Amino acid sequence: MLPSNQSSRGNKALNSGLLLSVMLLAPGCGQAGGLQLASVEGVVTHQGKLLDHGEVVFAPQSGTPGPAAVGKIQPDGSYVMRTTGREGAAIGSHKVTIHCRRELTEEEIRNRSLVIPKSLIPDKYWNKDQSPLAIEVVAGEANTYDIILE
């Protein structure tokens, strides 16, 4: 057994080494720095009406590098895709899901409710395995994709 001061120094060195490793690896997660992105924007409608909140998610398919891109749906139905903090989505094929749930009530927020709000769109659109939506992001082009949900 090590004396307590040596054990403490060893733990500090180990913790410092782990922290340094995490700091060095974190910027490379998803390799967004070297990932080719193209801008993607559009509007989302459901049953002819603009969605006023939610998220659009592009999940890269086989052969398309990188992490998923996410676009926050704005009150006017528009979205702009972002990948790990940078504007755009990886060039290539993506499966698309849309996430739009009812907003929590003031009471639910006050009570820190763990209620999962009901989806405002059919399940098939937020389930990656069921979504019929797919998009090809093309380099050097204006990738404008309006998403129309039934």
Distance between CA 136 and CA 61 in Å, rounded? 10
**Same-domain status, 66 and 136:** yes
**Same-domain status, 82 and 120:** yes
| Nearest alpha-carbon partner for 119 in 80, 145, 149 | 149
**Same-domain status, 84 and 119:** yes
* pLDDT at 141 exceeding the cut of 90: no
**Same-domain status, 8 and 42:** no
**Same-domain status, 76 and 8:** no
**Same-domain status, 121 and 96:** yes
More confident call, 28 vs 80: 80
| Nearest alpha-carbon partner for 70 in 53, 52, 86, 83 | 83
Tell me the average pLDDT of the chain.
82
Query: Which residues, at least 6 apart from 63, have a Cβ–Cβ distance to it below 8 Å?
Result: 92, 93
Structurally, the chain folds into a number of domains equal to 2
pLDDT for 89: 97
Q: Residues 73-117: pLDDT tens digits?
A: 999 999 999 999 999 999 999 999 999 999 888 888 888 878 788
**Same-domain status, 65 and 119:** yes
Query: Which residues, at least 6 apart from 35, have a Cβ–Cβ distance to it below 8 Å?
Result: 65, 66, 83, 90
Residue-range definition of the domain harbouring residue 18: 1-31
**Same-domain status, 2 and 64:** no
Query: What is the Cα gyration radius of the chain?
Result: 21
